[in-house]
Structure 1
Amino acid sequence: MLEVVILAAGKGSRMKSAVPKVMHSLAGKPFLQHVVEKARKLKPETIHLVVGHGAETVNQHFNQKDIHSVVQAQQLGTGHAVAQVLDHLQDDSIVSILYGDVPLIQEATLESLNALVSSDSMGLLTVDLQDPTGYGRIVRESGAVTAIVEHKDADGTQRLINEVNTGVMAVSARHLKQWLPQLNSDNAQGELYLTDIIAMAAKQGVVINTVQPAHSWEVMGVNNRQQQAQLERIYQAELANTLMDNGVTLLDPARFDCRGSLTCGNDCVIDINCIFEGDVTLGDGVTIGPNAVIINSSIGDNTTVKANCIIEDSVLQSHCDIGPFARLRPGSQLADKAKIGNFVETKNAIIGKGSKVNHLSYVGDAELGDDVNVGAGTITCNYDGANKHKTKIGNRVFVGSNTALVAPINIEDGATIAAGSTITKNVGQDELVLARSKQKSINGWQRPVKKPK
C-alpha cells in the first residue's frame, strides 16, 4: 500500500507575495497541483498535505476526497513536518515524501524510487550537481549511503561531494514511526531535519538504495521568481519537444506556451507567441498564426486561425477561416467552411456552413444558417438592458453593411437586408428589406465650433 506525503507549509518569503508559495503558477496551475497530479498517477491510498502558511487557501483549492490535510502550525524543519502525519499513516504502507514546490518530478522517477522500499530497505532520490552549494551531501562508505550532511553542517571534505540530497524519499511507515520521534535540533539551523533518519537507517542496518532522476530539472525547487521563470521555460520546452516528436511544426519552440492540455492531429503548424489554455484540440492540417490565444476549444481539420485571434470555449468544424484579430467568445460554434474575419466578435453564436462574417461585426446570441453573408459593421442587438434575446437567420441571407438586427428577430431563408438598416421586425423568405430614413441635404449648414475658454 502506498501513501504520499507532500510538504507544502512554507511561506516562500523570497517570492515577495501574499500568495502561499505552493500556490504560485507553473503552466497555468499551482506548483502543488503538478505534484498532486503526479502523486495521483501512482494510485496511492491517501495523499497527505502538510500545510502551514496560507493553509486556508491551499485547503480550499485541494478540498478533494483523496487528500488529507494536516496543519504544521510552526515550521520547525522537514522532519517536524512529516511527523505531523505519523498518526495518520498505516503501519504497512510505503510512504513517498514529496515537496509542493518541486513541480516537475516525473511519474517514472517516483515509481523507480518506490520500488526500492522493502522491510529492510528504503529509497532515496539523489542527483549529481556541478555546484552543490546549499544542498545536503550524500555521505557514503564503501559505496553505501551512511548519512546526509546539510551544507551548513558539512566540513571541508564533505562540501567537495557532488552527489546531493533532493529531499524526495520513500520509506516504510513503520520505520518513519520509529525514527522521527528520535530527531533532535542539534544543528546549525536548530531544526528537525528529515535527512537525519538516513544515519539512523544506516546504523540499524536498513539498506539505503538510491536512484537518480532522468533529468536534473525534475528535482529543481522554486524559491524565487527567477526559478519560477526558469522552470516554466523547461516545462514548455519539454512539451514543445513532445509535440514536435509527434509531427507538429512549431515555428519557434522557445516562443510557445501551453497552460493545459493540447492534442494535435497530423501536419499542424503553430506560429510564435501562441498560448493554449485548458483543453485544446487541433485537427489535421490546422494552422495557427502568431499571437493567438486558444482556450478550451476544438479546432477542426484544415482550419486556419490567422494572427492575433482569441478563441474561447468554442467549437470549429473543418476548413474554417478565422481572423486576423477575431474574437470567438464562449458558445461560438462554426460549421464547415465558415469564415470569421478581422475585428469580428461572436458569442453564443452558431455560424452555418459556408457562412461569412468578414469584418467589424458583432454576432451574439444568434443562429445563422448556411451560406449567410454578414456585411461590415453589422450588430445583433441581443441585450435590452435586462435580458438577452436571440437572432435567427436562415440560409442564403445577405445582410448589408452597417446593419442593426434588434433581437428577438427571425430572418427567413433568402432574405436581403439593405445596408444601413435597423431591423426590428421579422423578415420573410426572399424579401428585400430597407429600414433607413430618406437622404436629405441642407445647404449652408454651419458645423459647430469650439467655444473659446
Structure 2
Amino acid sequence: MTTDIVILAAGQGSRMKSSLPKVLHAVAGKPMVKHVLDQARNIKGASVHVVIGHGAELLQGALSEERVTFTLQEQQLGTGHAVAQALPNVDPEGVTLILYGDVPLTRVDTMQQLVSSAVAGHLGLLTVHLQQPAGYGRIIRNATNDVIAIVEQKDASAAQLLITEVNTGIMAVPTHLLLKWLPLLSANNAQGEYYLTDIIAMAAEQGISIETQHPACEQEVQGVNNRVQLAELERWYQLQQAQLLMLDGATLADPSRVDIRGKVTVAGDVIIDINVVFEGDVVLERGVVIEPNCIIKNSVIGENSRIKANTIIEESTIGACCDVGPFARIRPGTQMASGAKVGNFVETKKAIIGEGSKISHLSYVGDAIIGKNTNIGAGTITCNYDGVNKSLTDIGDNVFIGSNTSLVAPVKVGSGATVGAGSTITKEVADSHLAVARGKQTNLSNWQRPVKKS
C-alpha cells in the first residue's frame, strides 16, 4: 500500500517576529522542515507533499533540491483546509501521514507506527500526556477508554481543560476516509477554522477504530511558535547529541556547551572541551583532543591529534598525531600528513602538508604541496593569486623557508633547499641550493633621525 506524507508548512508564524517563514528557522543548523523531511524519507516508498503558503517562494527555494510536491494554501483556513489542498495529489487507495513543518524532532519509528495503524484500516493518532497541557486540544475518551473526539483549548469546557492527554496533530489515516471526511468539516468554532481534529469524532461515530500512539518523550512532538521555544528545543536536542557522543567514548568537559549541527563519529578516548561546534560530517579518531572554542566542519581528525583553542577547520583531513592551532584557520582542501604541525595564526587552503612538516606561526599557505620534514618560517606566504588565476607552490622534502618569505606562484623549491629570511622567490630553487632574494642592506653613519616639529 502506498504512503503519502503531507507536511503542513503554510503558517506565517507571526510570534517568531521574523520575515523568514517559521519552518525555515533552524534547529541544530538545519531548518525545522528539513528535519521533518529527512525523517519522513526513511519511510520506504513514501511520496512527500509540502503545503506552503506564507513565504511560499522562500520555502520552495530552500527545498528546491528535495523530491517533494508543493501545494499552495492561499488562505490559511485551518489544518483541515490545509490537508485538503494536498489531496488531489495523493493515492486514494493508500494511506496519508500528516506531519508539521514546525514539529522537527518526531522520530521515524513513531511515524511508522502510525502508518502501520492506517494500513490496517485504523486511524493512527499520536497523543502525549503533559503536566501543563494549556494550548493543546484535549483527547476525549468514553467509558471504555476509546477516543471519541478532540476538543480544542478555546472550545473546551472547564472539566475538559483538566485532561492531560493532548493531541499532537500528527496522525495517519486511510486516504479514502480523508477524501470522505474533509469536505464535511465545518468552521463553526471559536477560531472560525476547519479543524483536522474534527475527523476524530467522525471516525468514532462511524465505528472506525482510533489507535493512539505515544512518543518516547514530549520533545519529540514539541512544536515551535516563538524563539523561546526554538531555543528550548535546540538545547534539548543538543544535550541528546552530547549524550550519544559520551556513550560512544568521548569525554565532554561540559555537555551543555557543545553544539552538533550534523553528524559526529567518534572513536574512544576523545576529549572535547567547551564551546566546540561541529558542522556537517565530522570524524574524530581515537585519542583526539579538541580544545575550547573550535569550529570543525566536514572534516576528519586523525588519531592522537590535538586541535588547540580557537581553531577553525573546514572540509579538510588532519592526519594522526598532528598539532593544529591555537587560532589556526584550516580552509577547504587542506591535507595534513602524520605528525605535521600548523601553529598559531596560520591559514591554509588547498595545502598538502607532508609528514612531520611545520608551519608554526603567522603564515598563509594556499594552493601548495609541501613535502616531508619541511619548516616554513614565521610570516611566510604563498602568493597563489595573480588577480585572475590560482597557481601552485611546490616545496620539497627537508626544506627550510626563512621567516617573512614570499613565494610567488607558480614556483618550485627543491628538496633540501634553504630560502633566506625576507626573500621574495619568483624562480625555481634547485635541490639543496640556498636562495636569497632581498634588497641589499645599506648603513649610513651620518644619518639624522627626525625630530618633532615645535
Q: Given the alignment, which residue of 198, 201, 226 partners 1:199?
A: 201
Q: 1:397 and 2:402 equivalent? A: no
Structure 1 residue ranges without an equivalent (≥5): none
Report the alpha carbon displacement of residue 444 of structure 1 after superposing the two structures with TM.
Answer: 5.0
Aligned residue in 2 for 1:165: 167
Report the alpha carbon displacement of residue 422 of structure 1 after superposing the two structures with TM.
Answer: 1.5
Secondary structure of 1:410 counterpart: strand
Distance 1:245 1:147, change over 3 A: same
1:261-272 alignment to 2 at 5 Å? Answer: 261-272=263-274
Aligned residue in 1 for 2:384: 382
Aligned residue in 1 for 2:83: 82
| TM-score of the aligned structures, taking structure 1 as reference length | 0.97
Cα distance in structure 2, aligned partners of 1:368 and 1:262:
29
Q: Deviations over 1:48-72 (max 9, x none)?
A: 1100011111112223563111000
Aligned residue in 2 for 1:420: 422
Q: Given the alignment, which residue of 171, 178, 195 partners 1:176?
A: 178
Report the alpha carbon displacement of residue 447 of structure 1 after superposing the two structures with TM.
Answer: 4.8
Cα distance in structure 2, aligned partners of 1:253 and 1:90:
46
Aligned residue in 2 for 1:290: 292
Aligned residue in 2 for 1:334: 336
Aligned residue in 1 for 2:100: 99
Aligned residue in 2 for 1:245: 247
Aligned residue in 1 for 2:21: 20
Q: Deviations over 1:177-219 (max 9, x none)?
A: 0100000100000000000000000000011111110100011
Kept in 1: contact 2:250–2:271 (CA 8 A): yes
Q: 1:110 and 2:111 equivalent? A: yes
Report the alpha carbon displacement of residue 86 of structure 1 after superposing the two structures with TM.
Answer: 1.6
Q: 1:308 and 2:304 equivalent? A: no
Cα distance in structure 2, aligned partners of 1:74 and 1:303:
56
Secondary structure of 1:131 counterpart: coil
Q: Which amino acid aligns with 1:30?
A: P
Distance 1:149 1:447, change over 3 A: farther
Cα distance in structure 2, aligned partners of 1:356 and 1:64:
42
Kept in 1: contact 2:270–2:286 (CA 8 A): yes
Report the alpha carbon displacement of residue 438 of structure 1 after superposing the two structures with TM.
Answer: 2.8
Q: Which amino acid aligns with 1:223?
A: N
Report the alpha carbon displacement of residue 45 of structure 1 after superposing the two structures with TM.
Answer: 2.9
Aligned length: 452
Secondary structure of 1:3 counterpart: strand
Q: Given the alignment, which residue of 407, 410, 413 partners 1:408?
A: 410
Distance 1:72 1:249, change over 3 A: same
Kept in 2: contact 1:95–1:170 (CA 8 A): yes
Moved more, 150-159 or 43-52: 43-52
Secondary structure of 2:421 counterpart: coil
Q: Deviations over 1:382-402 (max 9, x none)?
A: 122222221111110001111
Moved more, 52-61 or 223-232: 52-61
Q: Which amino acid aligns with 2:199?
A: I
Aligned residue in 2 for 1:276: 278
Report the alpha carbon displacement of residue 451 of structure 1 after superposing the two structures with TM.
Answer: 7.1
| TM-score of the aligned structures, taking structure 2 as reference length | 0.97
Q: Deviations over 1:334-369 (max 9, x none)?
A: 111110011111111110111000111111111101
Kept in 2: contact 1:4–1:44 (CA 8 A): no
Aligned residue in 1 for 2:59: 58
Report the alpha carbon displacement of residue 265 of structure 1 after superposing the two structures with TM.
Answer: 1.5
Structure 2 residue ranges without an equivalent (≥5): none
Cα distance in structure 1, aligned partners of 2:108 and 2:407:
55
Kept in 1: contact 2:121–2:174 (CA 8 A): no
Kept in 2: contact 1:286–1:300 (CA 8 A): yes
Q: Which amino acid aligns with 2:328?
A: A
Cα distance in structure 2, aligned partners of 1:118 and 1:417:
74
Q: 1:41 and 2:36 equivalent? A: no
Aligned residue in 1 for 2:141: 140
Cα distance in structure 2, aligned partners of 1:362 and 1:26:
35
Where do 4+ consecutive residues of structure 1 move more than 4 Å?
A: 446-452
1:120-159 alignment to 2 at 5 Å? Answer: 120-142=121-143, 143-159=145-161
Cα distance in structure 1, aligned partners of 2:232 and 2:119:
36
Report the alpha carbon displacement of residue 116 of structure 1 after superposing the two structures with TM.
Answer: 2.0
Aligned residue in 1 for 2:9: 8
Report the alpha carbon displacement of residue 118 of structure 1 after superposing the two structures with TM.
Answer: 4.5
Distance 1:120 1:403, change over 3 A: closer
Secondary structure of 1:232 counterpart: helix
Secondary structure of 1:84 counterpart: helix
Report the alpha carbon displacement of residue 298 of structure 1 after superposing the two structures with TM.
Answer: 1.1
What is the alpha-carbon root mean square deviation over aligned residues? 1.4
Q: Which amino acid aligns with 2:252?
A: L
Cα distance in structure 2, aligned partners of 1:337 and 1:388:
28
